[in-house]
With several copies, the nearest count.
Chain A
Amino acid sequence: MILKTVKDAKEAVADIPSGAFLMMGGFGLCGIPENCIEALLEKGITDLTIVSNNAGVDDFGIGLFLKKRMVKKMISSYVGENEEFERQMLSGELEVELLPQGTLAEKIRAGGAGIPAFFTPAGVGTEVAKGKETREFDGKPYLMERSFISDFSLVKAWKGDTAGNLIYKGTARNFNPMMAAAGKITIAEVEELVPVGTLDPNQIHTPGIYVQRIFQGKKYEKRIEQRTVSTYK
């Protein structure tokens, strides 16, 4: 097997330059690469373009990048849990491209899969269709969407082995697998890094071929946005 281990987040992100095109896994704050985010904050690079379904909250996740003005452009499906985001967007400091969530997911999947473009019904007749080709198949209109490939994809998994094979847990999987496949360089941080041969080949979510660097995160806060509990059962 080809070993992908790096020491820590700092080493993993060392060569990410200002102006890079990044993908960052997660849905809300669930399944985000917390350790890579921290390491990038310390590096303090700027002018990033970031593909991420959401933009974090004011004091966690990508929200921290916004505070430090590290982001030039966000490509997301849903933002607004974040006042600094709103301020920068309304003032024009931050460029924002909003895409339907399924279109976003599929553009990333297509990028990793060597498919330059595909057709989807989502967004036909809406603002999202502006500047895009519309075409009918079997009498129904579809938009042509181009795929995304990142310079660096930062993903977070539950377990990973030193060959880069990843297993996610629960709904923390979300955008991580497609982003792992769509990165020219993919950096995976995991809660538990295990030796090759520990994970069942039949149960790998992201095959190691997609991962160039892997490390075990120092700690995971796993902040919850909407802690909702039922008191009875």
Chain B
Amino acid sequence: MLTKEQIAQRIAQEVKHGQYINLGIGIPTLVANYIPSELDVVLQSENGLLGIGPFPTESEVDADVINAGKQTITMLPGSAIFDSAESFAMIRGGHVHLTILGAMEVSEHGDIANWKVPGKMVKGMGGAMDLVASAKMIIVAMQHCSKDGHSKLLPSCTLPITGVRCVKKIVSDLAVLEIDPEGGFILKERAPGVSVEEIKSKTAGKLKILGEIPEMQFN
């Protein structure tokens, strides 16, 4: 089973040179730490910044420069600031290539639920619905099962959904899976030491196993 850091590390392998990327809060934020430095990519923050830099030192902290998680950050040489309408114009218009975000549930058709649990306080969808509706490539970082052991990869979502048929790839603590456009989770890689049988037993949606399933590689 992968740690959160390892999930982030595995997702970082999906990043390609020249991509503009939006990272959600939580595990996705960690992905930034594992993107190989030889790749030129730009991180977008939906509150209005292209070119998220590292966290500031004490003396660099500026209350007017934050990310979408409301954390103080820095800008990089070549950064650009814009308003929220422009930020989502970018997202909605497909200019942001890759969105990485967390999920509570994903269906075998690529539906995602990550904003609301009935009966619990609803905090809101923030920018997630815009992001999943428009990004060309959407990768979900998630735990394969809930704390009480229920699979979060389902035939269809039970929670209110954030977007329909939008997720392309999932990296969970157990596996890398792709969504088959015709329905089903295509198993691509196993976490080190995790058997196909275990993944099968913990995937409630249709799991497609084609040939030998390799173990994930970490450098």
- The answer to whether B92 touches A113 (Cβ under 8 A) is yes
Chain B minimum-CB-distance residue to A55? B124
Tell me the complex Cα distance, A30–B81, Å. 14
Asked whether any CB of chain A lies closer than 8 Å to the CB of B75, the reply is yes
Chain A minimum-CB-distance residue to B111? A125
Tell me the complex Cα distance, A85–B189, Å. 43
Q: Quick one: which of B47, B54, B65, B111 has the most chain A CB within 10 A?
A: B47
- The answer to whether A173 touches B83 (Cβ under 8 A) is yes
Chain B minimum-CB-distance residue to A103? B130
**Which single member of B50, B72, B128 contacts A209 (CB below 8 Å)?**
B50
- The answer to whether A77 touches B40 (Cβ under 8 A) is no
Tell me the complex Cα distance, A77–B77, Å. 30
The majority secondary structure among interface residues of chain A is loop
Please, which residues of chain A bring their CB within 8 A of the CB of B126?
77-78, 100-101
Please, which residues of chain A bring their CB within 8 A of the CB of B45?
171
Please, which residues of chain A bring their CB within 8 A of the CB of B164?
124-126
Q: Mark B53-81, 1 if CB is under 8 A from A, else 0.
A: 01111100111111111111101111111
- The answer to whether A127 touches B89 (Cβ under 8 A) is no
The majority secondary structure among interface residues of chain B is loop
**Which single member of B41, B69, B77, B127 contacts A226 (CB below 8 Å)?**
B69
Asked whether any CB of chain A lies closer than 8 Å to the CB of B84, the reply is yes
- The answer to whether A114 touches B63 (Cβ under 8 A) is no
Q: A78-B126, A126-B162, A233-B54 are in contact. Are A222 and B92 (CB under 8 A)?
A: no
Tell me the complex Cα distance, A204–B79, Å. 9
Q: A105-B88, A125-B161, A229-B72 are in contact. Are A209 and B44 (CB under 8 A)?
A: yes
Q: A106-B88, A209-B90 are in contact. Are A121 and B133 (CB under 8 A)?
A: yes
**Which single member of B44, B57, B92 contacts A120 (CB below 8 Å)?**
B92
- The answer to whether B57 touches A231 (Cβ under 8 A) is yes
Tell me the complex Cα distance, A163–B54, Å. 19
Q: Give the distance to chain B from A58, nearest Cβ to Cβ, in Å.
A: 14
Q: Give the distance to chain B from A32, nearest Cβ to Cβ, in Å.
A: 11
Q: A1-B51, A77-B125 are in contact. Are A115 and B92 (CB under 8 A)?
A: yes
Q: A2-B40, A109-B85, A208-B80 are in contact. Are A98 and B160 (CB under 8 A)?
A: no
Asked whether any CB of chain A lies closer than 8 Å to the CB of B211, the reply is no
Please, which residues of chain B bring their CB within 8 A of the CB of A120?
92, 130, 133
Please, which residues of chain B bring their CB within 8 A of the CB of A105?
83-85, 87-88
Q: A209-B90, A229-B61 are in contact. Are A176 and B83 (CB under 8 A)?
A: yes
Please, which residues of chain A bring their CB within 8 A of the CB of B95?
112, 181, 209-210
- The answer to whether A173 touches B82 (Cβ under 8 A) is yes
The tally of residues in A whose CB lies under 8 Å from a CB in B reads: 82
Q: A30-B63, A100-B127, A176-B83 are in contact. Are A114 and B121 (CB under 8 A)?
A: no
Please, which residues of chain B bring their CB within 8 A of the CB of A226?
66, 69-72
- The answer to whether A169 touches B91 (Cβ under 8 A) is no
Asked whether any CB of chain A lies closer than 8 Å to the CB of B49, the reply is yes
Asked whether any CB of chain B lies closer than 8 Å to the CB of A128, the reply is yes
Please, which residues of chain B bring their CB within 8 A of the CB of A46?
none
Within 8 A of A (CB), among B86-106: 86-96
Asked whether any CB of chain B lies closer than 8 Å to the CB of A39, the reply is no
Q: Which of A9-17, A65-73, A195-203 is the interface stretch?
A: A195-203
Please, which residues of chain A bring their CB within 8 A of the CB of B56?
229-230
> A124-B133, A125-B164 provided; 8 other pairs, C-beta below 8 A?
A1-B77, A2-B40, A100-B125, A165-B78, A209-B96, A225-B66, A228-B55, A233-B57
5 residue pairs A–B, Cβ–Cβ below 8 Å: A100-B125, A121-B134, A201-B81, A207-B90, A225-B70
Going nearest first, the 10 A-B pairs with the smallest beta carbon separation are: A197-B77, A102-B88, A114-B92, A80-B123, A102-B130, A113-B89, A100-B129, A196-B78, A125-B164, A1-B78
